[in-house]
Amino acid sequence: MKSIVETIQEKIRPQFEGDSSGHDWHHILRVLNMSRHLQQTEGGDLEIIELAALLHDISDYKLNGGRLDEGGKVAFKLLLDNDYNEAKAEHIMYIVDNVSYKGANTPNEMNTVEGKIVQDADRIDAIGAIGIGRTFAYGGNKNQAMYIPELEAKLHDSFEEYANEKTSTINHFHEKLLLLSDRLNTKTAKEIGKQRHQFMENFLNQFYAEWNFQPENK
């Protein structure tokens, strides 16, 4: 008999294949893989972690037309439809509803070790070389400019502002990506995050140097 993790993995896969907004199936697999790695040192219920990792983007507000709190309910229903334990499904609903970044000045802390691990794994996938790639992919998918020098980056005070205000892909680094390494929950994730954060700093320095290239005055 198939495990619940295998069953859910097979059921949701078609929904993520072919996505070009940075939330494709390989993102789900990387988050699953990183969550398993973090669990080895940080502990927590492996099955809940695996299911929450698989379901964390199941109905993201950026992909479902803007509805903010649907993901958890969709995950909960899918788990119960597959005869999963209701209390555990509620825990997974809580993780899915609270995993996302909601702006610089909007804290969103997880209060279970399983939640902290899945949030860390998702955030690690938003930084470093993969994070850079995903952010430019997302920007292109949303017809967002790569960089608008006169548009200042903002530290948003509410989720609504963060989700709705015009930005550029380079500003997104200052509004989210560069803030993530300090917001990782677990020690294991913080160690991995450090190197990926430095890689983004190096990328941005090179980007600005190329953008501001000046011909020599002879």
d(CA 161, CA 159): 5
Structure tokens at 176: 């989210």
Least Å distance between CB 168 and ligand ADP?
Answer: 8
- Segment 88-127, which members bind Ni ion (CB under 5 A)? 122
* Residue choice 16, 84, 94, 138 for contact with ligand ADP (CB under 6 A): 138
Q: Which of Ni ion, ligand ADP, none does residue 9 bind (CB under 5 to 8 Å by kind)?
A: none
Show the binding pattern over residues 110-129: x = contacts ligand ADP (CB under 6 A), - = does not: ------------xx--x---
Assess contact for 35 and 48: CB atoms under 8 A.
no
Least Å distance between CB 11 and ligand ADP?
Answer: 20
In degrees, rounded to 5, the angle at the alpha carbon of residue 15 between the alpha carbons of residues 196 and 58 is 60
Assess contact for 68 and 159: CB atoms under 8 A.
yes
* Residue choice 172, 183, 196, 197 for contact with ligand ADP (CB under 6 A): 172
Q: Which of Ni ion, ligand ADP, none does residue 197 bind (CB under 5 to 8 Å by kind)?
A: none
Does 57 bind Ni ion (CB under 5 A)? Our answer is: yes
Round the CA-based radius of gyration of the chain to a whole number and report it: 18
| Nearest Cα residue to 162 out of 104, 118, 111 | 104
Q: Which of Ni ion, ligand ADP, none does residue 138 bind (CB under 5 to 8 Å by kind)?
A: ligand ADP
The SS3 assignment for 107 reads: coil
CB-nearer residue toward ligand ADP: 4 or 63: 63
| Nearest Cα residue to 95 out of 44, 131, 130 | 44
Least Å distance between CB 142 and ligand ADP?
Answer: 7
* Residues 6 or more apart in contact with residue 62 via CB below 8 angstroms: 21, 23, 163
153 φ/ψ sector (left φ>0, alpha ψ -120 to 50, else beta): beta
CB-nearer residue toward ligand ADP: 134 or 156: 134
CB-nearer residue toward Ni ion: 114 or 122: 122
Q: By CB under 6 A, which span of 3-11, 80-88, 171-179, 207-215 interacts with ligand ADP?
A: 171-179
* Residue choice 60, 70, 90, 161 for contact with ligand ADP (CB under 6 A): 60
